[in-house]
Amino acid sequence: MLGGTSEASALARAIAAAGMAAEFSYAGRTLSPVGQPLPVRVGGFGGVAGLVAYLRDHAISHVVDATHPFAAQMSRHAVLACAEAGVPLLALERAPWTPESGDRWQRVADIEAAVAALPEVPARIFLAIGRQHLEAFRARPRHFYLLRLVDAPQAPLPLPHAEAVIDRGPFTLAGDRALLAAHGITHVVAKNAGGEGARAKLDAAREAGLPVILIDRPAIPARPVIRSVAEVMDWLAHSATPVKADRGE
């Protein structure tokens, strides 16, 4: 299992309860990942070729990609490696968020488009995108940026006016309502990750009438995609049953 989401943890518990032999793989981007009831490996595989070799060397019979919807490189590698190694692949992926009445969303294609969509005048931005793409926002140094990170920064933040809050989801509406108010937030920038654990910021922004710049998910090659742990368990038990490939849109 390629993990890193709450859905991956739920699947790991179900697999362990079923007594299946499995391994949970973390990318290693978080210093203190959530513990799992399965054997865990941490780190990359060395590209597509490395993943192919790993699948063959460890006699892997099935792969479940339960990574974050924005872990596009790993997901692309999984599609290519599983095809080359002849190993069945299934993606456990959250449905993307959709707007509700009162939402002020501006959907953009990527990080660069999110930077370009920021206002020209100084604003107070809740930059809820993790720590991987902060450098891009240096192009708009006049803004204040509030970051929410799982791990405390190991180096100075790359933005001149920024503050980091260290916290791990799931988050609550009451908590995110208070967070936005305490920091005087005027805009929210987020990835369309889907799921319930991080949606609270969007609900809080709707309540406060704040604009949200929402980054669309990256494109991933067609692969079988399902939404629930129960469906994965059924697939593992009856893997001869085909699953229709789609892009999870």
Strands 245-246 and 104-108: unpaired
> Helix (H, G, I), strand (E, B), or coil: what is residue 166?
strand
Concatenating the DSSP letter of every residue in 113-145 gives: HHHHHS-SS--EEEEES-STTGGGGGGSTTSEE
Q: Does the pLDDT of residue 13 top 60, yes or no?
A: yes
Strand partners, 106: 213
Element housing 17 (H / E): helix 6-18
Quick: pLDDT tens for 131-176.
888 999 999 999 999 999 988 888 889 999 999 999 988 899 999 9
Which is more confidently placed, 72 or 239? Answer: 72
- Chain mean position to CA 235: 23
Question: All domains of the chain, ordered by start, with CATH?
Answer: 6-94+219-246 (3.40.50), 104-215 (3.40.50.720)
Residue 223: Cβ-neighbour burial (10 angstroms; 0-12, 13-18, 19+): buried
The pLDDT, as a whole number, for residue 183 is 98
Average pLDDT of the segment spanning 46-74: 95
Residue 54 contacts residue 45 (beta carbons within 8 Å): yes
135, amino acid identity: E
Strands 187-191 and 211-215: parallel
Task: Determine the Cα–Cα distance for residues 95 and 8; give it in Å rounded to an integer.
Answer: 14
Tell me the torsion sign for CA atoms 66, 68, 74, 76: positive
The pLDDT, as a whole number, for residue 166 is 93
Average pLDDT of the segment spanning 200-219: 97
151, amino acid identity: D
Task: Determine the Cα–Cα distance for residues 238 and 249; give it in Å rounded to an integer.
Answer: 25
Flag the least confident range among 31-45, 96-110, 205-219.
Answer: 31-45
Q: What is the CA radius of gyration of the chain?
A: 19
Task: Determine the Cα–Cα distance for residues 134 and 148; give it in Å rounded to an integer.
Answer: 12
Flag the least confident range among 70-74, 102-106, 182-186.
Answer: 70-74
The pLDDT, as a whole number, for residue 247 is 43
Quick: pLDDT tens for 173-201.
999 999 999 999 999 999 999 988 889 99
Residue 197 contacts residue 169 (beta carbons within 8 Å): yes
